[in-house]
Amino acid sequence: MLDYLTFTNLALFAIALLLFYIWLTPKYKNLPPGPMGVPFLGCLPFMETLAERTFTKWSKKYGPIITVQLGDHRTVILNSYEAIEEAFTKKGEKFNGRFKTYFTEFASEGLGIFFIDGEKWKEHRKFGTRALAGAGMYGKTIEQRVLEEAENICHVIRSKNEEPFILEDYLILSVANVINGITIKERCDEEGNENLLKYVASVVEGICLLLFVYVQTQKHMKSMKDGLRMGNGKVTSFVRYFMVIFLAALFDNLIEQHQQQHDRLHPRDLIDLYLNEMKDFSKPQLRYFLKDLFAAGTETSSSTIRWALFYLIVNPDIQDKVHKEIDDVIETGHNGVVRYDTKLPYTKAVLQETYRIRTATPLGVPRRNTEDVTLMGYFIPKNTQIIPNLWWVHNDPEYWNEPDVFKPERHLDEEGNLIMSNRVIPFSIGARHCLGENLARTEIFLFLVSILQKFTVLPNPEDPNPPLECSPGIVNSPHKYPLIIVPI
Ligand code: HEM
């Protein structure tokens, strides 16, 4: 009898909860169609590890733009180039917001550039675009900085004497040091490198842990403490390095040094420029701005270089062609200087194919529409989470013949000239596309060419197949794999 009563009470409670949930959920007419979810979690229980694949599956059923409830968040997935273009380019003004979650607010405190919007974003975006191009700074050009770091990587490779080693550890530092050079003038010394390595490692760890589901369910956490205990304390250490130790200690010291030595007429780096140009200077805002540049620019670029090397290992004929093109074009042998505008169409096609086949951020970075808007005939209420499925744009067989095959030739015309396809959009599009796109393209190209100008990248005999599977998370990074790199 008691069991029967308990069961009835529980069932009534569940029904009441369900009705309450349905009552709470706002109803809109003409939303893009999509799958039904379950109360509170929405569609999260039906997601596979690689969210981009699940969205693509649903899109095949419901159309190129779909509504998916992810935990608390009403989300619209843009699953075709046309949908992304209409939203981010043609109606860009309305889609330039960033979607805010409990996590984004906690990680940014509403500062920096990545997670802000409105006038403050516009001002920092304008400033950041000029600063990352080195405009208005004294000293080396961006290209010189990148080439110095690329040379440094080549020294490291030589020092390994053809033994297998993990390139990633050095690559990520070199890429971070390029940003260092632009933002805080100096390359890190050995001690600085250690700090930087710890910081970058924790960012990477954090990025991997920020799996889709985790980000989407923040509101369901009992408390922040519970949230931070997830992942065996890794999230805690990530947050500690990310926000407290590294940010406050390193960046604040640097900002103060810059303030003391400030020479208005000779800005050396981004901090000097910031002190010169930004009307309402605030140390925390600058600290988070610097943090965003490091966090956004390290793992993405270094992963892309590693993917390119992995694909060249499994396609030695393609690597031979790259070597031949570099030899033919850069006349003075292995010490010849390469520039970003050096005409290496085949090598650039290899990179374009790498950007396509292993999209660094398969789902971009979620945006938010700042007002009610109609998109492809559907209504999208203000403050909806908007996710572009960049991975599918790069892998849709309607546009890419055999999308799983690495074919640089698909990006070349009959005369061997590079075709810049508007369907390869790893940096996203519109006014809020990647702020570091030019810097990233320059460093990825110059690092790759500098390495292949001097070395051949070989499979490791102990494990001849580099891991090519996509990894889940915000950034699609390759797994660690010891490379053997030998002089030509
Ligand atoms: C392969 C390398 C990279 C890829 C694939 C990449 C991709 C992206 C993507 C997809 C976004 C989101 C854009 C959007 O909302 O539509 C983004 C934003 C951003 N990226 Fe990158 N990125 C790379 C490298 C870099 C580098 C080197 C930097 C700077 C040092 C950088 C700084 C940023 C910043 C600051 C944002 C936020 C921009 C804003 O909100 O206005 N990225 N990136």
pLDDT band at 215 (very low <50, low <70, confident <90, very high): very low
**What is the per-residue pLDDT for 21?**
61
**Higher per-residue confidence, 167 vs 136:** 167
CA distance 426 to 433: 9
Instruction: State yes or no: pLDDT of 299 exceeds 50.
Output: yes
**What is the per-residue pLDDT for 170?**
87
Q: Considering the chain, what percentage of its residues have pLDDT values greater than 90? A: 56
Range of the domain at 435: 51-487
33 falls within a domain? no
418 falls within a domain? yes
Of 286, 300, 434, 441, best ligand 1 pocket probe by most atoms within 8 Å of the beta carbon? 434
CA distance 142 to 132: 8
The tens digit of pLDDT for each residue in 31-68 reads 999 999 888 889 988 988 889 999 999 999 999 999 99
411 lines ligand 1 (CB under 6 A): no
Q: Across 249-258, 445-454, 464-473, which has the greatest mean pLDDT?
A: 445-454
Residue type, 355: Y
The tens digit of pLDDT for each residue in 427-442 reads 999 999 999 999 999 9
29 falls within a domain? no
pTM: 0.89
**What is the per-residue pLDDT for 313?**
97
pLDDT band at 102 (very low <50, low <70, confident <90, very high): confident
Distance between Cα 385 and ligand 1 center (Å):
18
366 lines ligand 1 (CB under 6 A): no
**What is the per-residue pLDDT for 474?**
81
22 falls within a domain? no
Span between the terminal Cα atoms of the chain, in Å: 83
Q: Considering the chain, what percentage of its residues have pLDDT values greater than 70? A: 82
Distance between Cα 487 and ligand 1 center (Å):
33
Instruction: State yes or no: pLDDT of 231 exceeds 70.
Output: no
**What is the per-residue pLDDT for 149?**
92
When mean pLDDT is compared across 186-190, 246-250, 419-423, the lowest value belongs to: 186-190
Distance between Cα 129 and ligand 1 center (Å):
12
The tens digit of pLDDT for each residue in 190-212 reads 455 555 555 555 555 554 444 44
Q: Please tell me what DSSP assigns to residue 369.
A: -
**Higher per-residue confidence, 72 vs 467:** 467
The tens digit of pLDDT for each residue in 362-371 reads 999 999 999 9
**Higher per-residue confidence, 47 vs 7:** 47
Distance between Cα 426 and ligand 1 center (Å):
9
**What is the per-residue pLDDT for 217?**
42
Interface confidence: ipTM more than 0.90: yes
CA distance 109 to 34: 33
CA distance 152 to 114: 30
Q: For residue 70, with 0-12 CB atoms within 10 Å meaning exposed, 13-18 middle and 19 or more buried, which class applies?
A: buried
pLDDT band at 214 (very low <50, low <70, confident <90, very high): very low
Strands 484-487 and 373-375: unpaired
Determine the average pLDDT of the residues in 234-243: 50
CA distance 427 to 430: 10
457 falls within a domain? yes
Its sign, for the CA torsion 284, 300, 97, 131, is positive
CA distance 451 to 334: 10
Please report, for residues 32, 34, 118, 247, 366, the alpha-carbon distance to residue 374 in angstroms, rounded to integers and kept in the order given: 10, 17, 21, 41, 18
Determine the average pLDDT of the residues in 447-465: 94
Residue type, 249: A
- Count up the domains in the chain and report the number: 1
Instruction: State yes or no: pLDDT of 298 exceeds 50.
Output: yes
Inter-residue contact 266 to 138 (CB < 8 Å):
yes
Of 432, 435, 448, 476, best ligand 1 pocket probe by most atoms within 8 Å of the beta carbon? 435
Radius of gyration for the chain, computed over Cα atoms and rounded to the nearest angstrom: 24
- The mean of the pLDDT values for the chain is 85
Identify the H or E element spanning 370.
none
Instruction: State yes or no: pLDDT of 397 exceeds 60.
Output: yes
**What is the per-residue pLDDT for 242?**
52
Annotated binding site: 434
Please report, for residues 55, 241, 308, 411, the alpha-carbon distance to residue 399 in angstroms, rounded to integers and kept in the order given: 18, 43, 22, 12
**Higher per-residue confidence, 295 vs 411:** 411
Inter-residue contact 436 to 293 (CB < 8 Å):
yes
User: In degrees rounded to 5, what are phi and psi of residue 68?
Assistant: -135, 125
| Residue listed under structure tokens 């405009």 | 135
**What is the per-residue pLDDT for 219?**
42
Closest Cα to atom 11 of ligand 1: 434
3-state secondary structure at position 227: helix
89 falls within a domain? yes
When mean pLDDT is compared across 64-78, 221-235, 318-332, the lowest value belongs to: 221-235
88 falls within a domain? yes
The tens digit of pLDDT for each residue in 175-185 reads 988 988 888 76
304 lines ligand 1 (CB under 6 A): yes
Determine the average pLDDT of the residues in 158-182: 90
Q: What is the DSSP string of 7-50?
A: HHHHHHHHHHHHHHHHHHS---TTPPP----BTTTBTGGG--SS
Inter-residue contact 453 to 336 (CB < 8 Å):
yes
Q: What is the DSSP string of 300-330?
A: HHHHHHHHHHHHHHH-HHHHHHHHHHHHHHS
Residues 6+ apart with CB under 8 A from 488: 323, 334, 454, 455, 456
How many helices (H) and strands (E) would you count in the chain? 19, 9
Instruction: State yes or no: pLDDT of 26 exceeds 80.
Output: no
27 falls within a domain? no
CATH code of 276's domain: 1.10.630.10
